[in-house]
Structure 1
Protein backbone atom coordinates (compact mmCIF):
# COMPACT_ATOMS: atom_id res chain seq x y z
CA UNK A 1 0.00 0.00 0.00
CA UNK A 2 2.71 2.48 1.02
CA UNK A 3 4.82 1.57 -1.99
CA UNK A 4 1.84 2.07 -4.31
CA UNK A 5 1.06 5.47 -2.81
CA UNK A 6 4.71 6.50 -3.05
CA UNK A 7 4.89 5.40 -6.67
CA UNK A 8 1.74 7.35 -7.50
CA UNK A 9 3.17 10.48 -5.88
CA UNK A 10 6.36 10.16 -7.94
CA UNK A 11 4.33 9.80 -11.15
CA UNK A 12 2.21 12.81 -10.21
CA UNK A 13 5.31 14.90 -9.49
CA UNK A 14 6.89 13.94 -12.80
CA UNK A 15 3.65 14.81 -14.60
CA UNK A 16 3.70 18.30 -13.12
CA UNK A 17 7.29 18.83 -14.26
CA UNK A 18 6.46 17.66 -17.77
CA UNK A 19 3.41 19.90 -17.97
CA UNK A 20 5.48 22.88 -16.84
CA UNK A 21 8.05 22.19 -19.56
CA UNK A 22 5.38 21.58 -22.18
CA UNK A 23 3.87 25.04 -21.77
CA UNK A 24 7.19 26.78 -21.16
CA UNK A 25 7.54 30.08 -23.06
CA UNK A 26 10.58 31.40 -21.21
CA UNK A 27 12.80 31.11 -24.30
CA UNK A 28 10.30 32.76 -26.64
CA UNK A 29 10.49 36.26 -28.10
CA UNK A 30 6.91 37.28 -28.79
CA UNK A 31 5.71 40.16 -30.95
CA UNK A 32 2.12 41.25 -30.33
CA UNK A 33 0.67 43.75 -32.80
CA UNK A 34 -2.00 45.93 -31.31
CA UNK A 35 -0.46 45.09 -27.96
CA UNK A 36 -1.11 48.38 -26.21
CA UNK A 37 -4.73 47.78 -25.24
CA UNK A 38 -7.53 45.23 -25.08
CA UNK A 39 -6.94 41.59 -25.94
CA UNK A 40 -3.44 42.33 -27.25
CA UNK A 41 -2.36 43.69 -23.88
CA UNK A 42 -4.05 40.82 -22.04
CA UNK A 43 -2.18 38.23 -24.11
CA UNK A 44 1.11 40.12 -23.86
CA UNK A 45 0.75 40.32 -20.10
CA UNK A 46 0.00 36.61 -19.77
CA UNK A 47 3.02 35.59 -21.85
CA UNK A 48 5.35 38.02 -20.08
CA UNK A 49 4.27 36.80 -16.65
CA UNK A 50 5.05 33.27 -17.79
CA UNK A 51 8.62 34.19 -18.72
CA UNK A 52 8.48 35.22 -22.38
CA UNK A 53 10.23 38.30 -23.69
CA UNK A 54 7.33 40.31 -25.08
CA UNK A 55 7.33 43.10 -27.62
CA UNK A 56 4.13 45.12 -27.86
CA UNK A 57 3.61 47.08 -31.07
CA UNK A 58 1.11 49.78 -31.96
CA UNK A 59 0.67 53.25 -33.39
CA UNK A 60 -0.41 55.04 -30.20
CA UNK A 61 2.69 55.78 -28.08
CA UNK A 62 0.69 56.74 -24.99
CA UNK A 63 -1.05 53.35 -24.93
CA UNK A 64 2.21 51.49 -25.50
CA UNK A 65 3.98 53.31 -22.69
CA UNK A 66 1.18 52.63 -20.22
CA UNK A 67 0.98 48.98 -21.27
CA UNK A 68 4.74 48.48 -21.01
CA UNK A 69 4.80 50.05 -17.56
CA UNK A 70 1.98 47.77 -16.42
CA UNK A 71 3.79 44.64 -17.59
CA UNK A 72 7.15 45.77 -16.19
CA UNK A 73 5.63 46.56 -12.79
CA UNK A 74 4.36 42.98 -12.66
CA UNK A 75 7.87 41.70 -13.29
CA UNK A 76 7.54 40.91 -17.00
CA UNK A 77 10.19 41.47 -19.67
CA UNK A 78 8.70 43.91 -22.17
CA UNK A 79 9.72 46.13 -25.04
CA UNK A 80 7.45 48.64 -26.81
CA UNK A 81 7.80 49.60 -30.47
CA UNK A 82 5.85 52.00 -32.64
CA UNK A 83 4.35 50.31 -35.69
CA UNK A 84 1.82 51.22 -38.32
CA UNK A 85 0.99 47.80 -39.76
CA UNK A 86 -0.14 49.44 -43.01
CA UNK A 87 3.45 50.43 -43.81
CA UNK A 88 5.62 47.64 -45.22
CA UNK A 89 8.90 49.46 -44.55
CA UNK A 90 7.86 49.99 -40.92
CA UNK A 91 7.10 46.28 -40.54
CA UNK A 92 10.57 45.33 -41.75
CA UNK A 93 12.19 47.99 -39.57
CA UNK A 94 10.41 46.76 -36.44
CA UNK A 95 11.61 43.18 -36.96
CA UNK A 96 15.15 44.54 -37.45
CA UNK A 97 14.80 46.62 -34.28
CA UNK A 98 13.67 43.63 -32.24
CA UNK A 99 16.43 41.38 -33.55
CA UNK A 100 19.07 43.97 -32.73
CA UNK A 101 17.73 44.49 -29.21
CA UNK A 102 16.75 41.03 -27.96
CA UNK A 103 16.86 38.53 -30.83
CA UNK A 104 14.63 37.11 -33.57
CA UNK A 105 10.88 36.82 -33.08
CA UNK A 106 9.82 33.22 -32.47
CA UNK A 107 6.12 33.83 -31.78
CA UNK A 108 4.06 36.37 -33.70
CA UNK A 109 0.56 37.35 -32.57
CA UNK A 110 -1.32 39.22 -35.28
CA UNK A 111 -3.81 41.09 -33.14
CA UNK A 112 -3.94 44.59 -34.66
CA UNK A 113 -7.36 45.32 -36.09
CA UNK A 114 -10.17 47.80 -36.47
CA UNK A 115 -13.96 47.53 -36.49
CA UNK A 116 -16.85 49.56 -37.83
CA UNK A 117 -20.60 49.87 -37.46
CA UNK A 118 -22.42 50.69 -40.69
CA UNK A 119 -25.58 49.49 -42.35
CA UNK A 120 -24.62 47.65 -45.52
CA UNK A 121 -26.58 50.15 -47.60
CA UNK A 122 -24.50 52.97 -46.10
CA UNK A 123 -21.07 51.28 -46.01
CA UNK A 124 -18.68 53.41 -48.03
CA UNK A 125 -15.88 52.04 -50.18
CA UNK A 126 -13.36 53.99 -48.08
CA UNK A 127 -14.49 52.27 -44.86
CA UNK A 128 -14.56 48.86 -46.52
CA UNK A 129 -11.06 49.35 -47.89
CA UNK A 130 -9.70 50.60 -44.55
CA UNK A 131 -11.08 47.61 -42.61
CA UNK A 132 -9.70 45.11 -45.13
CA UNK A 133 -6.39 46.96 -45.32
CA UNK A 134 -5.75 46.75 -41.57
CA UNK A 135 -7.42 43.43 -40.76
CA UNK A 136 -6.35 41.40 -43.80
CA UNK A 137 -3.66 43.01 -45.94
CA UNK A 138 -1.55 44.20 -43.02
CA UNK A 139 -1.95 40.94 -41.10
CA UNK A 140 -0.64 39.09 -44.14
CA UNK A 141 2.34 41.40 -44.58
CA UNK A 142 3.36 41.10 -40.92
CA UNK A 143 2.99 37.31 -41.08
CA UNK A 144 5.00 37.23 -44.29
CA UNK A 145 7.90 39.20 -42.78
CA UNK A 146 7.89 37.05 -39.66
CA UNK A 147 7.86 33.84 -41.70
CA UNK A 148 10.65 35.00 -44.01
CA UNK A 149 12.93 35.45 -41.03
CA UNK A 150 11.93 32.14 -39.43
CA UNK A 151 12.69 30.42 -42.75
CA UNK A 152 15.94 32.36 -43.14
CA UNK A 153 17.20 31.12 -39.79
CA UNK A 154 15.74 27.60 -40.20
CA UNK A 155 14.24 27.78 -36.73
CA UNK A 156 10.48 27.60 -37.26
CA UNK A 157 8.06 29.35 -34.97
CA UNK A 158 4.44 30.05 -34.16
CA UNK A 159 2.14 32.58 -35.80
CA UNK A 160 -1.15 33.23 -34.04
CA UNK A 161 -3.81 35.18 -35.92
CA UNK A 162 -6.64 36.78 -33.98
CA UNK A 163 -9.89 36.33 -35.88
CA UNK A 164 -13.42 36.42 -34.43
CA UNK A 165 -16.54 34.31 -34.04
CA UNK A 166 -18.05 36.84 -36.47
CA UNK A 167 -16.00 35.20 -39.22
CA UNK A 168 -18.80 32.62 -39.33
CA UNK A 169 -21.71 34.18 -37.42
CA UNK A 170 -23.34 37.04 -39.32
CA UNK A 171 -24.72 40.01 -37.42
CA UNK A 172 -26.05 43.27 -38.73
CA UNK A 173 -23.97 46.35 -39.51
CA UNK A 174 -20.51 44.73 -39.53
CA UNK A 175 -20.30 43.35 -43.07
CA UNK A 176 -16.75 44.59 -43.68
CA UNK A 177 -15.46 43.41 -40.31
CA UNK A 178 -17.03 39.96 -40.63
CA UNK A 179 -15.68 39.58 -44.17
CA UNK A 180 -12.20 40.58 -43.00
CA UNK A 181 -12.21 38.00 -40.21
CA UNK A 182 -13.44 35.29 -42.58
CA UNK A 183 -10.48 36.18 -44.78
CA UNK A 184 -8.16 35.86 -41.77
CA UNK A 185 -9.48 32.34 -41.18
CA UNK A 186 -8.76 31.31 -44.77
CA UNK A 187 -5.35 32.98 -44.70
CA UNK A 188 -4.52 31.05 -41.54
CA UNK A 189 -5.21 27.73 -43.24
CA UNK A 190 -3.42 28.72 -46.45
CA UNK A 191 -0.27 29.91 -44.69
CA UNK A 192 -0.28 26.90 -42.37
CA UNK A 193 -0.30 24.59 -45.37
CA UNK A 194 2.47 26.45 -47.17
CA UNK A 195 4.81 27.00 -44.22
CA UNK A 196 4.44 23.71 -42.33
CA UNK A 197 7.50 22.29 -44.07
CA UNK A 198 9.57 25.04 -42.46
CA UNK A 199 8.40 24.20 -38.95
CA UNK A 200 6.15 27.26 -38.80
CA UNK A 201 2.79 26.70 -37.14
CA UNK A 202 -0.03 29.06 -38.11
CA UNK A 203 -3.19 28.93 -36.01
CA UNK A 204 -6.00 31.29 -35.13
CA UNK A 205 -7.99 32.27 -32.07
CA UNK A 206 -11.61 33.25 -32.55
CA UNK A 207 -12.67 35.31 -29.52
CA UNK A 208 -16.30 35.96 -28.77
CA UNK A 209 -17.61 39.08 -27.06
CA UNK A 210 -15.04 40.71 -24.79
CA UNK A 211 -15.48 44.19 -23.33
CA UNK A 212 -12.71 46.16 -25.08
CA UNK A 213 -12.36 49.50 -26.82
CA UNK A 214 -12.96 47.69 -30.12
CA UNK A 215 -16.32 46.30 -29.03
CA UNK A 216 -17.41 49.34 -27.01
CA UNK A 217 -19.66 50.75 -29.78
CA UNK A 218 -21.58 47.47 -29.86
CA UNK A 219 -21.83 46.90 -26.12
CA UNK A 220 -22.99 50.38 -25.09
CA UNK A 221 -26.49 50.84 -23.75
CA UNK A 222 -28.29 47.49 -23.66
CA UNK A 223 -25.76 45.83 -25.98
CA UNK A 224 -23.76 44.14 -23.24
CA UNK A 225 -26.89 42.82 -21.53
CA UNK A 226 -28.14 41.38 -24.83
CA UNK A 227 -24.86 39.57 -25.48
CA UNK A 228 -24.71 38.26 -21.94
CA UNK A 229 -28.26 36.99 -22.30
CA UNK A 230 -27.31 35.10 -25.47
CA UNK A 231 -24.26 33.49 -23.88
CA UNK A 232 -24.61 30.07 -22.22
CA UNK A 233 -22.11 31.06 -19.52
CA UNK A 234 -24.04 34.26 -18.81
CA UNK A 235 -21.12 36.67 -19.12
CA UNK A 236 -18.73 38.44 -21.47
CA UNK A 237 -15.11 37.39 -21.86
CA UNK A 238 -12.73 38.55 -19.12
CA UNK A 239 -9.12 39.67 -18.97
CA UNK A 240 -7.73 36.18 -18.40
CA UNK A 241 -9.98 34.12 -20.65
CA UNK A 242 -7.39 33.91 -23.43
CA UNK A 243 -4.46 33.02 -21.14
CA UNK A 244 -4.72 29.27 -21.60
CA UNK A 245 -5.12 29.21 -25.36
CA UNK A 246 -2.37 31.74 -26.04
CA UNK A 247 0.06 29.77 -23.83
CA UNK A 248 -0.92 26.63 -25.72
CA UNK A 249 -0.30 28.11 -29.16
CA UNK A 250 2.89 29.95 -28.16
CA UNK A 251 4.52 26.89 -26.60
CA UNK A 252 5.54 23.45 -27.80
CA UNK A 253 2.34 22.11 -26.29
CA UNK A 254 0.87 22.89 -29.74
CA UNK A 255 3.75 21.35 -31.70
CA UNK A 256 1.37 19.19 -33.77
CA UNK A 257 -1.21 21.93 -34.36
CA UNK A 258 -1.30 24.07 -37.48
CA UNK A 259 -4.16 25.49 -39.49
CA UNK A 260 -6.38 25.18 -36.43
CA UNK A 261 -9.08 27.56 -35.18
CA UNK A 262 -9.80 27.76 -31.47
CA UNK A 263 -13.06 29.42 -30.44
CA UNK A 264 -13.05 31.20 -27.06
CA UNK A 265 -16.53 32.61 -26.65
CA UNK A 266 -18.22 31.05 -23.63
CA UNK A 267 -20.41 29.04 -25.99
CA UNK A 268 -21.88 32.09 -27.69
CA UNK A 269 -21.58 30.56 -31.16
CA UNK A 270 -23.50 27.43 -30.14
CA UNK A 271 -26.06 29.09 -27.88
CA UNK A 272 -27.67 31.45 -30.35
Structure 2
Protein backbone atom coordinates (compact mmCIF):
# COMPACT_ATOMS: atom_id res chain seq x y z
CA UNK A 1 0.00 0.00 0.00
CA UNK A 2 2.73 2.48 0.94
CA UNK A 3 4.43 1.91 -2.43
CA UNK A 4 1.85 4.13 -4.10
CA UNK A 5 3.38 7.08 -2.23
CA UNK A 6 6.91 6.33 -3.44
CA UNK A 7 8.64 8.74 -5.82
CA UNK A 8 11.49 6.38 -6.60
CA UNK A 9 12.74 6.88 -10.15
CA UNK A 10 10.92 10.20 -10.55
CA UNK A 11 12.43 13.60 -11.35
CA UNK A 12 10.95 16.51 -9.43
CA UNK A 13 11.55 20.19 -10.15
CA UNK A 14 10.88 22.71 -7.39
CA UNK A 15 11.27 26.50 -7.46
CA UNK A 16 12.06 28.61 -4.43
CA UNK A 17 14.01 25.65 -3.07
CA UNK A 18 16.74 27.58 -1.27
CA UNK A 19 14.82 28.43 1.89
CA UNK A 20 11.59 28.24 3.87
CA UNK A 21 8.81 25.94 2.74
CA UNK A 22 10.61 25.25 -0.54
CA UNK A 23 13.67 23.88 1.24
CA UNK A 24 11.56 21.60 3.42
CA UNK A 25 9.45 20.39 0.50
CA UNK A 26 12.55 19.71 -1.60
CA UNK A 27 14.00 17.55 1.16
CA UNK A 28 10.65 15.76 1.48
CA UNK A 29 10.56 14.95 -2.24
CA UNK A 30 14.10 13.56 -2.05
CA UNK A 31 13.27 11.49 1.02
CA UNK A 32 10.38 9.94 -0.91
CA UNK A 33 12.83 8.82 -3.60
CA UNK A 34 12.76 11.55 -6.24
CA UNK A 35 15.79 13.12 -7.87
CA UNK A 36 15.10 16.76 -7.04
CA UNK A 37 16.12 19.69 -9.20
CA UNK A 38 16.54 22.69 -6.90
CA UNK A 39 15.73 26.05 -8.48
CA UNK A 40 16.27 29.54 -7.04
CA UNK A 41 18.60 32.49 -7.69
CA UNK A 42 21.14 31.92 -4.93
CA UNK A 43 23.49 29.08 -5.91
CA UNK A 44 25.25 29.02 -2.55
CA UNK A 45 21.98 28.46 -0.69
CA UNK A 46 20.91 25.82 -3.22
CA UNK A 47 24.24 24.05 -2.73
CA UNK A 48 23.60 24.00 1.01
CA UNK A 49 20.18 22.36 0.50
CA UNK A 50 21.70 19.88 -1.94
CA UNK A 51 24.33 18.94 0.66
CA UNK A 52 21.61 18.35 3.24
CA UNK A 53 19.76 16.09 0.80
CA UNK A 54 22.94 14.15 0.06
CA UNK A 55 23.64 13.75 3.78
CA UNK A 56 20.21 12.15 4.12
CA UNK A 57 20.93 9.75 1.26
CA UNK A 58 18.97 11.60 -1.43
CA UNK A 59 19.83 12.89 -4.90
CA UNK A 60 19.54 16.43 -6.24
CA UNK A 61 20.74 18.82 -8.91
CA UNK A 62 21.25 22.56 -8.42
CA UNK A 63 19.96 24.90 -11.12
CA UNK A 64 20.25 28.63 -10.36
CA UNK A 65 17.60 30.56 -12.31
CA UNK A 66 16.19 34.06 -12.09
CA UNK A 67 12.47 33.40 -12.46
CA UNK A 68 11.91 36.86 -13.88
CA UNK A 69 13.84 35.72 -16.97
CA UNK A 70 11.56 33.81 -19.34
CA UNK A 71 14.40 32.53 -21.52
CA UNK A 72 16.29 31.28 -18.46
CA UNK A 73 13.25 29.29 -17.31
CA UNK A 74 12.64 27.70 -20.70
CA UNK A 75 16.32 26.92 -21.27
CA UNK A 76 16.64 25.56 -17.74
CA UNK A 77 13.71 23.15 -18.07
CA UNK A 78 15.02 21.94 -21.43
CA UNK A 79 18.44 21.33 -19.86
CA UNK A 80 16.83 19.24 -17.12
CA UNK A 81 15.03 17.09 -19.68
CA UNK A 82 18.24 16.66 -21.66
CA UNK A 83 20.41 15.72 -18.68
CA UNK A 84 17.97 13.65 -16.61
CA UNK A 85 15.77 12.34 -19.40
CA UNK A 86 12.43 13.20 -17.83
CA UNK A 87 10.40 15.48 -15.59
CA UNK A 88 7.61 13.88 -13.58
CA UNK A 89 6.81 16.49 -10.95
CA UNK A 90 6.78 20.28 -11.16
CA UNK A 91 6.36 22.20 -7.91
CA UNK A 92 5.93 25.95 -8.38
CA UNK A 93 6.69 27.32 -4.95
CA UNK A 94 8.67 30.54 -5.52
CA UNK A 95 6.81 33.70 -4.62
CA UNK A 96 7.18 37.17 -3.17
CA UNK A 97 4.99 39.28 -0.91
CA UNK A 98 4.89 43.02 -0.35
CA UNK A 99 2.75 45.06 2.01
CA UNK A 100 1.45 48.31 0.49
CA UNK A 101 -1.71 50.35 1.20
CA UNK A 102 -3.69 50.40 -2.02
CA UNK A 103 -3.56 54.19 -2.41
CA UNK A 104 0.21 54.18 -1.95
CA UNK A 105 0.93 51.25 -4.26
CA UNK A 106 2.88 51.55 -7.48
CA UNK A 107 2.31 49.57 -10.64
CA UNK A 108 5.93 48.49 -10.83
CA UNK A 109 5.63 46.60 -7.54
CA UNK A 110 2.28 45.10 -8.59
CA UNK A 111 3.81 43.88 -11.85
CA UNK A 112 6.83 42.42 -10.06
CA UNK A 113 4.57 40.40 -7.77
CA UNK A 114 2.42 39.12 -10.62
CA UNK A 115 5.46 38.28 -12.76
CA UNK A 116 7.14 36.27 -10.02
CA UNK A 117 4.08 34.59 -8.55
CA UNK A 118 1.98 33.98 -11.66
CA UNK A 119 3.88 34.48 -14.90
CA UNK A 120 6.86 32.39 -13.83
CA UNK A 121 4.50 29.67 -12.59
CA UNK A 122 2.78 29.58 -15.97
CA UNK A 123 6.04 29.41 -17.94
CA UNK A 124 7.46 26.68 -15.70
CA UNK A 125 4.25 24.64 -15.89
CA UNK A 126 4.07 25.09 -19.66
CA UNK A 127 7.62 23.90 -20.22
CA UNK A 128 7.38 21.00 -17.77
CA UNK A 129 4.03 19.89 -19.25
CA UNK A 130 5.66 19.71 -22.68
CA UNK A 131 8.35 17.39 -21.30
CA UNK A 132 5.76 15.30 -19.45
CA UNK A 133 3.64 14.96 -22.59
CA UNK A 134 6.64 13.91 -24.67
CA UNK A 135 7.58 11.31 -22.05
CA UNK A 136 4.14 9.74 -22.34
CA UNK A 137 3.84 8.77 -18.69
CA UNK A 138 1.93 11.81 -17.45
CA UNK A 139 3.04 13.93 -14.56
CA UNK A 140 2.15 16.14 -11.62
CA UNK A 141 1.99 19.93 -11.52
CA UNK A 142 1.69 21.26 -7.99
CA UNK A 143 1.32 25.01 -7.55
CA UNK A 144 1.71 26.58 -4.14
CA UNK A 145 -1.09 29.02 -3.42
CA UNK A 146 -2.00 30.47 -0.05
CA UNK A 147 -4.81 30.85 2.43
CA UNK A 148 -5.07 34.20 0.63
CA UNK A 149 -5.93 32.39 -2.61
CA UNK A 150 -9.52 32.39 -1.40
CA UNK A 151 -9.81 35.24 1.11
CA UNK A 152 -8.67 38.86 0.92
CA UNK A 153 -6.32 40.76 3.17
CA UNK A 154 -5.79 44.50 3.47
CA UNK A 155 -2.54 45.89 2.05
CA UNK A 156 -1.81 42.66 0.20
CA UNK A 157 -3.83 43.26 -2.96
CA UNK A 158 -1.06 42.22 -5.38
CA UNK A 159 -0.24 39.09 -3.39
CA UNK A 160 -3.91 38.14 -2.99
CA UNK A 161 -4.51 38.71 -6.70
CA UNK A 162 -1.51 36.58 -7.62
CA UNK A 163 -2.48 33.70 -5.36
CA UNK A 164 -6.08 33.80 -6.59
CA UNK A 165 -4.73 33.69 -10.15
CA UNK A 166 -2.74 30.57 -9.26
CA UNK A 167 -6.02 28.77 -8.52
CA UNK A 168 -7.59 29.77 -11.84
CA UNK A 169 -4.45 28.88 -13.76
CA UNK A 170 -4.21 25.48 -12.08
CA UNK A 171 -7.82 24.59 -12.81
CA UNK A 172 -7.34 25.51 -16.46
CA UNK A 173 -4.23 23.34 -16.63
CA UNK A 174 -6.18 20.47 -15.07
CA UNK A 175 -8.96 20.84 -17.64
CA UNK A 176 -6.57 20.76 -20.57
CA UNK A 177 -3.89 18.31 -19.46
CA UNK A 178 -6.02 15.63 -17.81
CA UNK A 179 -6.22 13.58 -21.01
CA UNK A 180 -2.42 13.43 -20.96
CA UNK A 181 -2.51 11.93 -17.46
CA UNK A 182 -0.99 15.17 -16.15
CA UNK A 183 -2.68 16.40 -12.99
CA UNK A 184 -2.60 19.96 -11.68
CA UNK A 185 -3.43 20.90 -8.11
CA UNK A 186 -2.89 23.68 -5.58
CA UNK A 187 -1.58 23.43 -2.04
CA UNK A 188 -2.75 26.47 -0.09
CA UNK A 189 -0.67 26.91 3.08
CA UNK A 190 -1.86 28.99 5.98
CA UNK A 191 0.48 30.66 8.45
CA UNK A 192 3.78 28.80 8.76
CA UNK A 193 6.91 29.56 10.73
CA UNK A 194 9.25 30.58 7.88
CA UNK A 195 11.56 33.46 7.04
CA UNK A 196 9.07 34.98 4.58
CA UNK A 197 6.94 35.84 7.62
CA UNK A 198 9.81 37.32 9.61
CA UNK A 199 8.70 40.87 8.81
CA UNK A 200 5.37 40.35 10.57
CA UNK A 201 6.08 37.82 13.30
CA UNK A 202 8.17 40.43 15.08
CA UNK A 203 5.14 42.67 15.54
CA UNK A 204 3.82 42.65 19.08
CA UNK A 205 0.84 40.33 19.41
CA UNK A 206 0.86 39.21 15.75
CA UNK A 207 1.74 35.56 16.34
CA UNK A 208 -0.84 35.31 19.11
CA UNK A 209 -3.51 36.99 16.98
CA UNK A 210 -3.08 34.51 14.14
CA UNK A 211 -3.07 31.60 16.55
CA UNK A 212 -6.24 32.96 18.12
CA UNK A 213 -8.24 32.76 14.88
CA UNK A 214 -6.80 29.40 13.83
CA UNK A 215 -8.82 26.41 15.11
CA UNK A 216 -5.63 24.50 15.95
CA UNK A 217 -4.45 27.61 17.85
CA UNK A 218 -0.91 27.57 16.51
CA UNK A 219 1.20 28.24 13.42
CA UNK A 220 2.18 25.39 11.12
CA UNK A 221 5.61 23.83 10.95
CA UNK A 222 7.08 23.47 7.42
CA UNK A 223 7.30 19.68 7.74
CA UNK A 224 3.51 19.57 8.01
CA UNK A 225 3.23 20.41 4.30
CA UNK A 226 5.27 17.43 3.18
CA UNK A 227 2.58 14.78 3.52
CA UNK A 228 0.17 16.67 1.27
CA UNK A 229 2.96 17.33 -1.21
CA UNK A 230 3.98 13.67 -1.45
CA UNK A 231 0.34 12.63 -1.84
CA UNK A 232 -0.17 14.99 -4.78
CA UNK A 233 3.20 14.13 -6.33
CA UNK A 234 2.71 10.37 -6.16
CA UNK A 235 0.51 7.71 -7.66
CA UNK A 236 -1.74 7.92 -4.61
CA UNK A 237 -3.45 10.98 -6.15
CA UNK A 238 -3.76 9.64 -9.70
CA UNK A 239 -7.44 10.69 -10.03
CA UNK A 240 -7.13 14.01 -8.20
CA UNK A 241 -6.83 17.14 -10.32
CA UNK A 242 -8.00 20.74 -10.32
CA UNK A 243 -8.20 20.78 -6.53
CA UNK A 244 -7.16 23.28 -3.88
CA UNK A 245 -6.02 21.60 -0.67
CA UNK A 246 -5.74 23.97 2.27
CA UNK A 247 -3.07 23.12 4.82
CA UNK A 248 -3.85 25.89 7.25
CA UNK A 249 -5.06 24.55 10.57
CA UNK A 250 -8.64 25.33 9.51
CA UNK A 251 -8.28 29.12 9.31
CA UNK A 252 -9.79 29.41 5.82
CA UNK A 253 -12.94 27.42 6.55
CA UNK A 254 -13.97 28.65 9.99
CA UNK A 255 -14.97 31.78 11.83
CA UNK A 256 -13.12 31.76 15.13
CA UNK A 257 -12.16 34.54 17.48
CA UNK A 258 -11.15 34.78 21.09
CA UNK A 259 -13.36 36.44 23.63
CA UNK A 260 -11.98 38.16 26.68
CA UNK A 261 -12.21 36.00 29.79
Using the size of structure 2 for normalisation, the TM-score is: 0.94
SS in 1 for 2:185: strand
Q: Write the distance in 2 (CA, Å) between the matches of 1:208 and 1:186.
A: 19
Paired residues for 1:185-224 under 5 Å? 185-222=167-204, 223-224=206-207
SS in 1 for 2:196: coil
1:260 and 2:243 correspond: yes
SS in 2 for 1:126: helix
Q: Write the distance in 1 (CA, Å) between the matches of 2:250 and 2:244.
A: 15
Check whether the contact 2:194–2:222 (CA below 8 A) recurs between aligned residues: no
RMSD of aligned Cα (Å): 1.2
For 2:28, the equivalent position in structure 1 comes to 46
Q: Write the distance in 1 (CA, Å) between the matches of 2:91 and 2:9.
A: 16
Q: Write the distance in 1 (CA, Å) between the matches of 2:135 and 2:83.
A: 17
For 1:90, the equivalent position in structure 2 comes to 72
Check whether the contact 2:138–2:181 (CA below 8 A) recurs between aligned residues: yes
1:246 and 2:229 correspond: yes
Match of 2:44 among 37, 62, 76: 62
Q: Write the distance in 1 (CA, Å) between the matches of 2:73 and 2:109.
A: 23
Match of 2:219 among 236, 249, 257: 236
Q: CA deviation at 1:171?
A: 1.6
Could you list the structure 1 runs, at least 4 aligned residues long, displaced by more than 4 angstroms after superposition.
none
Q: Write the distance in 1 (CA, Å) between the matches of 2:50 and 2:102.
A: 38
Q: CA deviation at 1:93?
A: 1.9
What is the number of equivalent residue pairs in this alignment? 254
For 1:118, the equivalent position in structure 2 comes to 100
**Higher mean C-alpha displacement, 68-77 vs 203-212:** 68-77
Deviations 1:140-162 (A, max 9, x none): 01100011111223221000000
1:162 and 2:162 correspond: no
Deviations 1:196-250 (A, max 9, x none): 1111100000000012222222222232221112211111110211111001000
Deviations 1:98-141 (A, max 9, x none): 22332211000000111001111111101100000111111101
- Which of these two proteins has the greater Rg computed from alpha carbons? 1
For structure 1, the residue ranges without an aligned partner over 5 or more in a row are 1-17
Check whether the contact 1:202–1:258 (CA below 8 A) recurs between aligned residues: yes
1:103 and 2:119 correspond: no
